[in-house]
Chain A
C-alpha cells in the first residue's frame, strides 16, 4: 500500500517495555492512623485518600514523608514498598529520574508545600515541581526539567518530578524510568497520557515502570481500561475467537505485578479477571465504549431516563429507512454528532454501566446464553419483565435491545461470565 516507505519491523525493538506495579500503602497508612489520626479523618472515620492529602498536605506530612522514604529510599522496613527491591533496579544504573502525578485538584500553594515536604524527606533527590506555581508552562516545562536533570547528574542526585497535571502531554524526557500514580481515580485517557511520560525511548532495553500507589489495590482500576481496550483491539484486529484469549495474549507482553514483602509477583490472567470483575472495571469499559455519539439527543435522553417510547420511535424511523440495528440514527455527513449535552451523555453512560453491573439477573435466569435467557423471559411473560424493569429502573425491552444489538458490547459482557 505504501509507495515510498517500507515497514521496518526491527524498529519495533525501540518500543519501551512497560511494567506495572500495584503498591499497597497499607503499612504507611497504619503508621499514619496511629501517629496522625486526624490526617485522613472524614466525619469521624479514618478514610485515607490522595485527594485528602492533596487538600491538606501539611496535615498529612508524616504520611507523605514515610511513604516517599519507604518507596524511594527503602526506609521503614516494609520491603513491599521498596521500589528498587520490587523492580530489581541496581544502583549501577546511575541517576534515577522519576515522575509522580498527584491529584489534579492539588492547588499551586499545596504543590509548593508538597515539594518542600519531598525535599525534606528525600535528601538524595532533586525535587522538580512542574507547575504554574514555579512559573512553568506546558511550553517551557520540558526544557526546564532537562536543565534540572543535568544539574542533578552533576551533583550525583536522583530526580523526582512532581506534577498535578501539567506536562502530561507532549512532554518527552527520555530519562524517566519510574512513573508514580499518586491519585485515587481518574479518567482513563488522562491516566494513559500520564503513563506515557515514561515511554519515551532512551537507551536500548529501557523499561518504563509505572507504580500505582494505592490505598486499596483491590479497588485500584487505573490500568484496567487500557488493558481491556487493548484486548478488544487485539481481538478485532487479529481475528481472535474470544476476548479472554486476547486478554491472555496482552498479559503475556504487558506485565502487571503486585508488590509483596518477598518481592513482586506477576498477576496472571485468572487473578486479573477476578480483580477486574470485583472492581467493576469491565462494566465501566462497557459504559465507555458504547457508541453514544451515533445517537440523537432524544435517544440519549431516553437512554438516560429509561424512556422506551422515545427509543422505540427512533427505531421505527430507522426501520423505515431500511436499517436493521439500533444505532442507525447517525446524522448526515458533517454532522454525525449527537446534540446531547455532556451531562445527558454522562447519565446515559451511567445507565449502561448499571445495566452491565446487574446483567447477571438476566443471564442467570436460564439457558446457556444471554439470548436464551431473554427468550425464556419473553416466553414467561409480563411478570418477570416487569420485575426486571423494576430492578434495573430501566424498561426490560430497552435492556434487551441494548444487549442483543451489541450497543452494550457483547464481547465484554461475555468476559464477565467466562
Chain B
C-alpha cells in the first residue's frame, strides 16, 4: 500500500508493539521497499528525520506506539501536522486500540484525505466498531489454504 499509494508519510500504529518487528522485517527484506525510511517515533531525532525525509520527497514509515503515555499525544500532533496526505495502518486493531481512549486521538487527528487501514487477524467487527469504514475485506487462514489446494476442490 505504501508503494501503491505513494504516500509520503505512512504511520504504522499499534498497541501490540511486537508487531512493528514484523513490519520492519518485511520492509527491509525486499528490494521494492529499499527507498523507504523507517523511523520509530520517540527515538532520538525522529522528528528531524521525518521532516528531512518529507523535504527530500523520500517516503517515510513511522512506527507509533498507541500505548498511553510516552508523550503519545505529542507524537500524534507532530506527525499529523506534517502537510502531506498520510497512510495510516493500524495493526492488531482489535487489541487495545479498539478502545475509544486509544483510538480517539487518531480519529481526531486524521484529516479527510488521509487513508486509514485497520488490520487484524481476528475480531474485525470489534476493530471496525469505532471507525467509519468504507470497505471491509475479510480473509480467513483456511481460505488461503483453499487457494493453495484448489486442485483438491475438483475431487
On A, residues with C-beta under 8 Å from B are 2-5, 9, 12-13, 15, 17-18, 138-139, 142, 169-172, 188-190, 192-193, 195-196, 199, 226-227, 229-230, 233-234, 237, 249-250, 252-254, 289, 293, 333-337
Contacts and interface: CB of A to CB of B under 8 A. Distances in A.
Interface string B111-155: 000000000011101101110110000111111111111001101
Interface of B: 3-4, 16-19, 21-22, 32, 92, 94-95, 107, 121-123, 125-126, 128-130, 132-133, 138-149, 152-153, 155
A17 B145 contact: yes
Contact of B153 (A171, A253, A293, A334): A253
A229 B139 CA distance: 10
Contacts of B155: 252
A253 B130 contact: no
B32 A5 contact: yes
B92 A15 contact: no
Given A172-B22, A226-B140, A253 B152 contact: yes
25 contacts: A2-B4, A12-B147, A15-B144, A18-B142, A142-B18, A169-B18, A169-B92, A170-B18, A170-B19, A170-B21, A170-B22, A172-B22, A188-B122, A189-B122, A190-B122, A192-B122, A192-B141, A226-B141, A234-B143, A234-B146, A250-B142, A253-B149, A335-B132, A336-B132, A337-B129
A138 B15 CA distance: 12
Nearest to B3: A4
Given A192-B122, A227-B142, A253-B153, 7 more contacts: A2-B4, A4-B3, A139-B17, A142-B18, A170-B22, A249-B146, A293-B128
A4 B138 CA distance: 23
B125 A293 contact: yes
Contacts of B92: 169-170
A228 B107 CA distance: 33
Main secondary structure on A side of the interface with B: helix
Given A139-B17, A233-B140, A234-B143, A189 B152 contact: no
A253 B146 contact: yes
Contacts of A142: 18, 21
Contacts of B123: 189
A138 B18 contact: yes
A237 B142 CA distance: 14
Given A5-B3, A142-B18, A15 B148 contact: yes
Nearest to A172: B22
B127 to A, nearest CB: 10
B4 A230 contact: no
A229 B3 contact: no
B95 A252 contact: no
A5 B4 contact: yes
Contacts of A192: 121-122, 141
B8 to A, nearest CB: 16
A252 B4 contact: no
Contacts of B146: 234, 249-250, 253
A335 B18 CA distance: 30
Nearest to B146: A253
Contacts of B142: 18, 226-227, 230, 250, 253-254
A199 B145 CA distance: 11
B145 A233 contact: no
Contacts of B16: 138, 169-170
Contacts of B121: 169, 192-193, 196
Contacts of A13: 148
Nearest to B22: A170
A144 to B, nearest CB: 12
A408 to B, nearest CB: 16
Contact of B145 (A18, A188, A334): A18
Contacts of A254: 142, 145
Contact of A293 (B18, B32, B129, B152): B129
Contacts of A335: 132
B30 to A, nearest CB: 10
Nearest to B122: A189
Contacts of B138: 233
A207 to B, nearest CB: 11
B15 to A, nearest CB: 10
Nearest to B125: A293
A354 to B, nearest CB: 20
A203 to B, nearest CB: 16
A2 B149 CA distance: 25
Closest 10 CB pairs of A and B: A189-B122, A170-B18, A189-B123, A230-B142, A230-B140, A253-B149, A12-B148, A333-B132, A254-B142, A170-B19
